[in-house]
């Protein structure tokens, strides 16, 4: 699984470059008891020849919506027209994520304060697939007429999936929405974007899924106690870290992890192993430093803290020692180990310094400038003496952003997972 990345670049771009002030045409605005929203896995991949248009009279439209007149593919239009609309469709696809982000900003569903340290427990991810995309012209002129009589609008059916920030899907719902009426079919993009705006409004108001948008007030769940055998041999310096660092591979990608006992217990991030369907956990494969592949089972997880404990049938000569108190300081030199980008780069090391420990939204994170990439998630951060300081968790990314990464403090792991050694 790729490193869990956090970005504030799109928000900054919207703030600087757009006139995204509150719009009276928006049907929604975030309520205090609702979660923040972001979009993931946007899919507008309808073949161009499957985008249809209807040309109908006002009388027929009033009677049956105009659909009895039959649909025609926009691609069936004359050469100049289909090239024009093909370019408009490409532009819509390229700009869709930006337009949706503008909608969230206008309506308050983007957290404009905590753009780096998001309140993960009170944020939702929306995934969608557009099932069909149709355009309507109601009036006496032709759909492609330069001077159009009547009005035009866009209508589509979208399959929405509601997920948490780990991508775990709570529910799904199909919504058919249409744009407001426009005075020209050439406003292809505006019609499409307004249809999406209305679809989001209908989604949030939908009685089947509206409960997922409500803020979660419940306290963090206390996990059952997990008792582990006391380790007998710990890493004594940074050079001994490699054999105790592993790759955690799933069918969708990979992350990293590290041993905390000699008998096969491993720490990683929860987002590394999270599945779209929590009832169907992913199959986990642990790859050791010398290439051995082992099946892993999940022992316990803390979703609120993005951490998990796994078990493999393996004996580690040495392991990392979990600290019981804060054991690091700002400006201290540290190392990270993991598998950036590819399993071929397992147990890669990088070096940096600690900036500080930050506490936002009841979450503690160590900020560091260590160079990490997708695949590093779940790997250890430690000092030259092999003392464990943290679990690599996330980084900032974007144009001009480098050297801002975050780790879960290792001294909190025992409490987060309710572990004891005996």
What CATH architecture is 226-421?
Beta Barrel (2.40)
Judge contact between 409 and 357, C-beta under 8 A.
Answer: yes
At CA 125, angle to CA 119 and CA 129, rounded to 5? 170
Tell whether the model's pLDDT for residue 381 goes beyond 50.
Answer: yes
Alpha-carbon torsion angle 290, 291, 297, 298, nearest 10: 70
Mean predicted confidence (pLDDT) in 131-140: 88
- In residues, how long is the chain? 422
Closest by Cα among 222, 267, 214 to 382 = 267
pTM of the model: 0.83
Extract the runs of DSSP E, i.e. beta strands, from 88-149: 123-138
Domain with CATH 2.40.10.120 in the chain: 226-421
pLDDT recorded at residue 324:
92
Angle at 44 between CA 42 and CA 48, to 5 degrees: 165
Per cent of the chain over pLDDT 70 is 86
Q: What is the mean pLDDT of residues 240-267?
A: 95
Q: What is the pLDDT of residue 17?
A: 40
Confidence at residue 85, expressed as pLDDT on a 0 to 100 scale? 76
Which whole number is the average pLDDT over 229-246?
95
Residues 6+ apart with CB under 8 A from 354: 328, 329, 330, 331, 332, 334, 366, 367, 368, 389
| Least confident window among 186-200, 261-275, 380-394 | 186-200
Record: fold of 8-213: Rossmann fold (3.40.50)
What does the alpha-carbon distance between residue 47 and residue 157 come to, in Å, rounded to a whole number? 15
| CA 24 – CA 321 distance, rounded (Å) | 57
According to CATH, where is 3.40.50 located in the chain? 8-213
Name the pLDDT band for 18 (thresholds 50, 70, 90). Answer: very low
pLDDT, tens only, 275-323? 998 888 889 999 999 999 999 999 999 998 999 999 999 999 999 999 9
């Amino acid at each position: 699984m790729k490193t869990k990345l956090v970005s504030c670049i799109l928000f900054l771009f919207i703030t600087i470059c757009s006139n995204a002030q509150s719009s009276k045409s928006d049907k929604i605005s975030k309520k205090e008891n609702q979660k923040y929203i972001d979009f993931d896995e946007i899919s507008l991949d309808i073949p161009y020849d499957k985008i249809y248009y209807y040309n109908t009279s006002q009388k027929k439209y009033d009677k049956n919506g105009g659909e009895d007149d039959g649909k025609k593919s926009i691609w069936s239009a004359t050469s100049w027209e289909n090239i024009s609309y093909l370019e408009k469709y490409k532009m819509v696809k390229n700009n869709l994520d930006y337009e949706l982000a503008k909608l969230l900003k206008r309506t308050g569903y983007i957290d404009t304060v905590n753009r780096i340290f998001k309140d993960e427990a009170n944020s939702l991810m929306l995934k969608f697939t557009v099932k069909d995309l149709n355009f309507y012209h109601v009036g006496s002129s032709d759909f492609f007429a330069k001077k159009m009589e009547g009005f035009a609008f866009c209508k589509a059916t979208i399959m929405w999936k509601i997920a948490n920030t780990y991508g775990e899907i709570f529910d799904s719902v199909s919504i058919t929405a249409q744009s407001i009426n426009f005075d020209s079919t050439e406003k292809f993009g505006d019609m499409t974007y307004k249809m999406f705006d209305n679809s989001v409004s209908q989604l949030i108001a939908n009685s089947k899924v509206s409960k997922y948008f409500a803020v979660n007030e419940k306290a963090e769940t206390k996990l059952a106690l997990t008792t582990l055998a006391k380790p007998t041999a710990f890493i004594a310096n940074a050079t001994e870290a490699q054999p105790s660092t592993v790759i955690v591979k799933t069918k969708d990608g990979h992350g990293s992890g590290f041993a905390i006992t000699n008998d096969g217990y491993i720490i990683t991030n929860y987002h590394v192993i999270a599945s779209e369907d929590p009832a169907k956990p992913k199959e986990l494969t642990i790859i050791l430093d010398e290439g051995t592949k082992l099946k892993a089972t999940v022992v316990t997880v803390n979703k609120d803290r993005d951490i998990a404990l796994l078990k493999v049938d393996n004996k580690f000569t040495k392991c990392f020692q979990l600290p019981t108190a804060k054991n690091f300081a700002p400006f201290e030199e540290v190392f990270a180990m993991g598998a950036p980008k590819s399993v071929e780069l397992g147990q890669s090391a990088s070096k940096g310094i600690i900036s500080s420990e930050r506490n936002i939204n009841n979450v503690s994170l160590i900020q560091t400038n260590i160079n990490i990439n997708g695949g590093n998630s779940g790997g250890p951060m430690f000092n030259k003496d092999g003392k464990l300081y943290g679990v690599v968790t996330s980084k900032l990314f974007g144009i001009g952003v480098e050297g801002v990464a975050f780790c879960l403090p290792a001294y909190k792991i025992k409490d987060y997972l309710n572990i004891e050694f005996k």
